[in-house]
Chain A
Amino acid sequence: MSGIIDAVLSPIADLMPGTRRVRVAVTGLARAGKTALLASTAANLLALGAGLPALPLLSQHLGRRRMTVAIAPAGAEDLPRFDHAAHIAALAADPPRWPERTQAVSVLALDLAVERQTMLGEMLGARRIRLELLDYPGEWLLDLPLLAEDFTLWSEATLTRLERGPAAPVRDFLAFARGLPANAAADETLAASGHALYRAALARLRDEARLSLLQPGRFLMPPPGPEPPWMTFFPLPGSSPLARLLAARFDAYRDAVRRDLVEGRFAAVDRVLVLADVLAALAAGPAAFADMQAALSAASSALRYDTSFLRTIPLLDRLLPPRIGRAVFAATKADHVAARQRGNLATLMAALVRLPADAPQPASLAVAAVRATEDFVWTLEGRNVSAVRGRVLGEGRMTRSYPGEVPDHPPDAAFWAHPFLEVPVFEPMRPLPGGAIPQLGLDALLVALLGDVL
């Protein structure tokens, strides 16, 4: 039904005057490659606008229509701009560097002008789109599920999860939290000590155990500036005065998340791109993989989706408050495995996605936004295997990599019986003349994400 309506009404939507704003939340867990993806998107769209075949599938989608691309002027907006020039320069430098980790919210804004496809549309001039891609620390994504949580229930669930996970990183914190008196006073020193222990445990779980579902996100990646007092809390079940103090601070934290992230940023988002480094999770083992799956599920479910009938009506769509109508899930760093395994990686990503019933049908892809390796056939134990090779960052030699077979379904016990190696950090390939950055699947991702408006 919606397909028929779309077919009838799309030409009308195509004739709508003015600039259409498309805001995409580029979400994903920490170290999934969001910043590199945004830098590559900017470089390749600008190259495409200059006439270079940087994104073949997107060019194919546009057909004979030309598209111009320019960095949108910042105007008087308060949102910091994504520093695309610095990130692209880092990738192009010799020796190259990967972009620095995101430490605050920023936006990459591009102005696109696409020729219209209908004769009537041609008379109106190019269709103008302001594409805004929101970048923010991956850790903060996991603050969204907290909005629906109660402090006591969250505390119990968190402590239970910590007790079931790796013991060493959380031993001190668990001993402290479980050892507190049942009616502990609302003492600031206790709150600060527990907070420091919890924060240290989270950092070790991220760095040593490669876990992802670590809340609150701002404990791992605090926003710039001095920390407000309500940041000083930690999970503590019970109804002691200390627990009540921590609960009040938890509520203040949730209010800040709602004010800064949800109402300020996500309120205007109408499509979402979720990135995950599935290969790193496979290498980190079953606990980290299950944790990544849970984190993805929690974060994706916390977003507000809408694919209702009303959304298919172009004119009405502009009047309704923004809701997420298109979702794309991408397994990043797909060039760390050979071409033969990238299909499996995309299928595995699709199998990991769990969205609420009202969410749009997601697209799942395997992507390398900045290509760093080349495929080659490696003879191992007398057998030819598809592998990759590239220069490890900071080294002048090639490194060959066959990390193992990527499953096309969530791994079972048989898979975990064999090792899947952690791939080293390869240095990015040299950019093409004209500034385009070598990529795999980024063009397909952009078509999946923006195909309806281009």
Chain B
Amino acid sequence: MSEEERPVRVAPRIEAENFAAPRLEPENLPVPVTPPVIRSGLGPLLGGAAVLVGGLVALDLVTTIAGLFDRSPWLGWIGTAVGLAGAALIVRGLGRELRGLASLATVDRLRTALAGNDAAAAKRAAREWAGRVEAGEGLDAALAAAPDATTVAALLRAGPAAELAARADALGRTAATQAFLAAAASPSAALDAGIVAWRGVRLIREVATLYGVRPGAAAMLTLVRRTALSAASVAGADLVAHTIAQGLLSHPLAQHVGGGLPAATLAARRMILLARAAAAACSPVGQAGPTGAP
């Protein structure tokens, strides 16, 4: 190549810009995609129906009590007492639902504090959670000495979270045996599905209670959804479930009753997986204990 044919070289250069700039953020790297919030019309529809039914029932109750007072004062007071007792029960039920939802929000709050870099906030969160669960005693001295938030989370994972995970596994094994035997004895696949669904919901509630989350109906719906999400991230849980199920089903009685029924085996595996996923959904430190350990 002659000198004339050579491409023109641009002289290298390094120069600073004249204005301050923020720290570079990773732009082109894949980040976890947050699903868009879908606002359906079902919420307002159900809310409107609840307002109408509740309001009309309340109005009807007030009208009825007023009518009773017109007929006789003592009849009116009895009607008032009945009405108040009913309303109190409804308020109590609503309170439980709200407490259930609040306890799930608390898990999120504790999780954020324990995942952060603020050691003091992590220690407060750790003490709060340790006070809620049975296995959380005796950690105070170690928590006070922990130098950073990572150590605080590690202490929880090694102590109460591991203990609770073991108990959740035990609950899962019990549910697995029950689901296996029920599915083996059931005459239809539809009934199998029903049994697994019922036992699964009960198992999630049991695990949630173990973790200090006492879900009502509304919180239960949220918890089921979270459990389904955490099932995908409880890495290796499916393998573990398979291993545990194989161990459980090697019992002579189980083999005699269930034989090699794939539906029954699958039901048992789902229970173990569900227990682990529910535990991960309810724990502020995520999955605890050695992964894969039955």
Contact = CB atoms under 8 A, between A and B. Distances in A.
A396 B232 CA distance: 41
B189 interface: no
A258 interface: no
Interface string B103-128: 00000000000000000000000000
Contacts of B21: 391, 396-398
A397 B24 contact: no
B279 to A, nearest CB: 16
B12 A421 contact: yes
Interface stretch (A27-35, A46-54, A182-190): A46-54
B16 A438 contact: no
B2 interface: no
A392 B16 contact: yes
A427 B26 CA distance: 13
Nearest to B19: A397
Interface string A394-413: 01111111111100000000
A421 B18 CA distance: 21
A92 to B, nearest CB: 8
Contacts of A66: 235-236, 238
A113 B291 contact: yes
Interface string A38-82: 000000000001111100100000000011101000000000000
Contact of A390 (B24, B235, B246): B24
Interface in A90-136: 94-96, 113, 115, 122-123, 125-126
B20 A405 contact: no
**Interface range on chain A: under 10, 10 to 19, 20 to 34, or 35 or more?**
35 or more
Contact of A125 (B11, B16, B243): B243
Interface in A270-290: none
A401 B20 CA distance: 17
B233 A400 contact: no
B8 interface: yes
B30 to A, nearest CB: 4
Interface stretch (A172-180, A230-238, A377-385): A377-385
**Interface range on chain B: under 10, 10 to 19, 20 to 34, or 35 or more?**
35 or more
Interface in B14-28: 14-21, 23-27
Nearest to B242: A122
A381 B233 contact: no
Contact of B16 (A94, A399, A423, A433): A399
B121 to A, nearest CB: 17
A199 interface: no
B31 interface: yes
Contacts of A96: 23
B23 A399 contact: no
B13 interface: yes
B17 A113 contact: no
A426 to B, nearest CB: 8
A424 interface: yes
Given A51-B232, A398-B21, A402-B14, A433 B31 contact: yes
Interface of A: 49-53, 56, 66-68, 70, 85, 94-96, 113, 115, 122-123, 125-126, 371-374, 380-381, 383, 385, 389-392, 395-405, 418-421, 423-424, 427, 429-434, 436, 438
Interface of B: 8-21, 23-27, 29-32, 150, 232-233, 235-236, 238-240, 242-243, 246, 290-292
Task: For the complex of A and B, list the 5 residue pairs with the smallest distance between their C-beta atoms, beginning with the closest.
Answer: A438-B26, A404-B12, A53-B30, A51-B233, A398-B21
27 contacts: A50-B233, A66-B235, A68-B291, A68-B292, A113-B235, A115-B236, A125-B292, A126-B239, A383-B8, A383-B10, A391-B23, A397-B20, A398-B17, A400-B13, A401-B14, A402-B10, A402-B12, A418-B12, A419-B11, A421-B13, A424-B14, A429-B23, A429-B24, A430-B26, A431-B26, A432-B31, A434-B32
